[in-house]
């Protein structure tokens, strides 16, 4: 058993990093030294220096500012997508597990159908069908992502639905609503919260990946994945164009995975894994 204090410290560090990145993303305008779209024709492909902390790109735009503004797009979309799919998925999955029967069968067959396709390929297909752009990207990721949460929450609900304490709750006069909110949700939420936190990281990767392929954000909007895609043409002459967005994606994914891990350890009331 890990000591509780150590876990709290780990949690504090990763949470602090997550908050810092979020604040940078939310208040990009306050921190960015330049306008992310402003071009400096005299400073094309400049290596990191005092004037441009992370260098400039092929059009002379400040990469540091673009990373900050890009975070706004990447992180906020990752958050939005995760929030939407987890809420939809948990509602559907909990309801299916709780009531069972035809409702359950229909929903689960639907999710089987969606799961039969590899997730990212299906997302790519949907985006190309709906048209590129961020709103469509969110829509496509939502359509393919909710099944995962529906599956997990359904199986969690099934595993606790027949517990004695649910019977006991019924004897104690709890109605369905109370059983859902007072007994089932508190007992399934901790495991789900871990999934949700870690999923933010993987959604970040998906968004970056799709943007890299040109299916996400459209130029000139700064976005980490798209910046990578621009940078790959200058890999040898200006490696900083790849390094900066690559590193922030990497760091963010690690942070959200660590955070999920710590939450898992902390959420267990018995204090052991």
Contact positions toward other proteins, by CB under 8 A?
163-165, 167-175, 178, 182-183, 186-187, 190, 269-270
- Could you tell me if 226 and 219 are in contact, meaning their C-beta atoms sit under 8 angstroms apart? yes
Q: Within a 10 A sphere around the Cβ of 42, how many other Cβ atoms?
A: 7
Least distance between other proteins and beta carbon 191 (Å): 12
Residue 201 CA to residue 69 CA, distance in Å, equals 18
Residue 173 CA to residue 13 CA, distance in Å, equals 44
Least distance between other proteins and beta carbon 183 (Å): 5
Smaller CB separation from other proteins, 192 or 227: 192
Smaller CB separation from other proteins, 162 or 237: 162
| H/E segment holding residue 227 | helix 224-231
Q: Which residues pair with 62 in a beta bridge?
A: 56
Residue 72 CA to residue 187 CA, distance in Å, equals 33
Task: Give the C-alpha distances (Å, rounded to integers) separating 26 from 22, 72, 88, 92.
Answer: 6, 6, 25, 31
Residue 244 CA to residue 246 CA, distance in Å, equals 5
Least distance between other proteins and beta carbon 160 (Å): 9
Least distance between other proteins and beta carbon 223 (Å): 40
Least distance between other proteins and beta carbon 262 (Å): 19
Q: What is the CA radius of gyration of the chain?
A: 22
Residue 207 CA to residue 249 CA, distance in Å, equals 10
Smaller CB separation from other proteins, 138 or 266: 266
Smaller CB separation from other proteins, 191 or 202: 191
Least distance between other proteins and beta carbon 168 (Å): 5
Least distance between other proteins and beta carbon 269 (Å): 5
Least distance between other proteins and beta carbon 260 (Å): 19
Smaller CB separation from other proteins, 42 or 164: 164
Smaller CB separation from other proteins, 88 or 169: 169
Residue among 128, 134, 119, 140 at smallest CA distance from 226 = 134
Smaller CB separation from other proteins, 117 or 165: 165
Return the SS3 of 93. helix
Smaller CB separation from other proteins, 40 or 178: 178
Residue 207 CA to residue 223 CA, distance in Å, equals 9
CA dihedral sign, ordered 52, 57, 62, 65:
negative
């Amino acid at each position: 058993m890990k000591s509780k204090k150590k876990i709290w410290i780990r949690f504090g560090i990763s949470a602090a990093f997550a908050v810092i990145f979020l604040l940078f993303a939310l208040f990009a305008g306050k921190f960015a030294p330049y306008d992310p779209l402003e071009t400096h024709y005299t400073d094309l492909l400049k290596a990191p220096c005092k004037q441009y902390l992370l260098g400039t790109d092929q059009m002379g735009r400040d990469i540091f500012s673009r990373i900050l503004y890009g975070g706004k797009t990447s992180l906020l979309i990752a958050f939005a997508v995760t929030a939407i799919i987890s809420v939809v998925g948990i509602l559907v999955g909990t309801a299916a597990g709780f009531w069972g029967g035809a409702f359950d069968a229909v929903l689960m067959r639907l999710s089987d159908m969606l799961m039969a396709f590899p997730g990212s390929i299906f997302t790519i297909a949907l985006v190309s069908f709906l048209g590129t752009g961020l709103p469509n990207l969110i829509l496509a990721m939502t359509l393919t992502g909710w099944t995962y949460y529906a599956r997990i929450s359904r199986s969690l609900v099934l595993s606790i639905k027949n517990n004695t304490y649910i019977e006991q709750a019924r004897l104690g006069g709890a109605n369905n609503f109370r059983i859902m909110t007072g007994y089932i949700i508190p007992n399934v939420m901790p495991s789900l919260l871990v999934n949700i936190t870690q999923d933010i990281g993987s959604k970040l990767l998906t968004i970056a990946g799709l943007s890299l392929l040109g299916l996400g954000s459209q130029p000139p909007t700064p976005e980490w994945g798209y910046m990578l895609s621009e940078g790959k043409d200058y890999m040898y002459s200006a490696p900083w164009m790849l390094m900066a967005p690559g590193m922030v994606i990497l760091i963010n994914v690690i942070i959200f995975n660590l955070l999920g891990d710590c939450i898992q350890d902390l959420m267990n009331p018995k204090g052991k894994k």
